[in-house]
């Protein structure tokens, strides 16, 4: 539901960017349901900050703060080699246990997800799976080029493109507040934008030397809070972190 106008007024972000003082953004979201508006306001405020010469990563920090305040959770649930690769350079993931391996929380994780956001490369891989692996969960494929979604049987799939903050804003506006972000490049872009709140990484006991990395360059350190590490009889080691 769209927020009422008086709520919009109550949720205004204040931008303070005069020449004689340090620019800052104060966000006072008083209405939880007005999340999409607050993010839009925050992005506008961030543009002011950027125009005022503040580093873009600082503006992104403010977006992340708003996300935490209002309750959006974007999570990563991924399997990697111990040396940090999610697939081989040719896209193969034969080093991961067949069929997902022993149960390690995927079904429980998926039960709390409103929408899965995957990059086009990951989509190209899962397209070959039969049946469609995500059931009726909403899937958003990110790509800057047209994708033929008519080939998918039984799935609920749409395409989006744009900055991660815009994607999150559009999803929040349509009721998706618990996102599963997947695909190396996609995860890295969301992390750089300060839009990932939770990382669940399951390490498979193998080194593959080279491949598609889970993580990449960042504009600044991303501090993590360790939530838990679980070990499984087959050798899987799963660590969960909150992005702080
Ligand atoms: N081990 C695991 O748990 C795991 C999990 C997921 C995936 N994988 C593997 O990882 C590989 C794919 O990862 P990847 O790093 O190559 O790529 P990816 O993140 O799956 O896809 C990257 C592509 O997504 C599109 N994209 C991403 N963000 C976008 C945005 N904001 N707006 C528009 N388009 C956007 C772009 O496609 P366009 O070029 O079309 O614009 C980009 O080139 C596959 O081999 C897959 O099997 C492994």
State pLDDT tens for residues 176-212.
Answer: 999 999 999 999 999 999 999 999 999 999 999 999 9
- The finding on whether 93 has its CB within 6 A of some atom of ligand 1 is yes
Instruction: Please report which confidence band the pLDDT of residue 70 belongs to, taking 50, 70 and 90 as the band edges.
Output: low
pLDDT at 48 > cutoff 80 = no
Give pLDDT tens digits for 100-128: 899 999 999 999 999 999 999 999 999 99
**Could you tell me which residue, 11 or 59, shows the higher pLDDT?**
59
In this prediction, residues 222-228 reach a mean pLDDT of 97
- Please tell me which residue, 52 or 91, carries the higher pLDDT value: 91
Task: Please tell me the predicted confidence (pLDDT) of residue 42.
Answer: 54
35 lines ligand 1 (CB under 6 A): no
pLDDT at 6: 31
pLDDT tens digits for 134-190? 999 999 999 999 999 999 999 999 999 999 999 999 999 999 999 999 999 999 999
Is any ligand 1 atom within 6 A of the Cβ of residue 211? no
Closest CA to 179 of 91, 84, 73, 78: 73
| 2 DSSP 8-state letter | P
Give the pLDDT of residue 158. Answer: 98
Residue with the bigger pLDDT between 26 and 167: it is 167
Q: Which atom of ligand 1 is nearest to the CA of 182?
A: 6
Average pLDDT score, the chain: 80
Model's pTM, two decimal places? Answer: 0.79
**Structural domains for the chain:** 3-12+72-243 (3.40.430.10)
Helix (H), strand (E) at residue 159: strand 156-160
61: CA distance to ligand 1 center in Å? Answer: 24
User: What value does the mean pLDDT take over residues 56-67?
Assistant: 53
**77 touches ligand 1 (CB under 6 Å):** no
DSSP 42-96: HHHHHHHHHHTT--HHHHHHHHHHHHHHHT-EEEEEEEEETTSEEE-TTS--TTS
Q: How far is the CA of 78 from the centre of ligand 1 (A)?
A: 13
Please compute the mean of the pLDDT values over residues 28-37 and round it to a whole number: 37
**pLDDT at residue 62 in the model:** 56
Distance 20 CA to ligand 1 centre (A): 44
Residue 95 has pLDDT above 90, yes or no: yes
Q: Which pLDDT does position 5 carry in this prediction?
A: 30
State mean pLDDT over 216-239.
96
Residue nearest to atom 4 of ligand 1 (CA): 86
């Amino acid at each position: 539901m769209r927020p009422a106008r008086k709520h919009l007024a109550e949720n205004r972000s204040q931008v303070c960017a005069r020449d004689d003082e340090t620019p800052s953004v104060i966000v006072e979201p008083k209405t939880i349901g007005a999340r999409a508006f607050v993010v839009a306001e925050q992005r506008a405020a961030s543009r002011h900050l950027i125009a005022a010469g503040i580093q873009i990563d600082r503006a992104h920090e403010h977006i992340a703060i708003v996300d935490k305040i209002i309750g959006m959770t974007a999570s990563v649930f991924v399997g990697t080699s111990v040396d940090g690769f999610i697939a081989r350079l040719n896209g193969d993931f034969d080093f991961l246990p067949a069929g997902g391996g022993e149960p390690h929380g995927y079904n429980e994780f998926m039960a709390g997800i409103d929408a899965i956001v995957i990059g086009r490369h990951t989509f190209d891989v899962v397209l070959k799976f039969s049946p469609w692996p995500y059931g009726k969960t909403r899937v958003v494929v990110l790509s800057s080029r047209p994708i033929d979604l008519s080939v998918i049987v039984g799935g609920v799939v749409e395409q989006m493109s744009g900055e991660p903050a815009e994607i999150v804003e559009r999803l929040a506006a349509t009721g998706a507040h618990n996102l599963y972000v997947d695909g190396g490049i996609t995860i890295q872009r969301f992390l750089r934008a300060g839009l990932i709140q939770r990382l669940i990484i399951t390490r498979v006991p193998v080194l593959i030397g080279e491949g598609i990395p889970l993580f990449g360059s960042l504009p600044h350190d991303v501090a993590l809070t360790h939530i838990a590490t679980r070990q499984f009889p087959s050798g899987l080691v799963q660590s969960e972190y909150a992005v702080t």
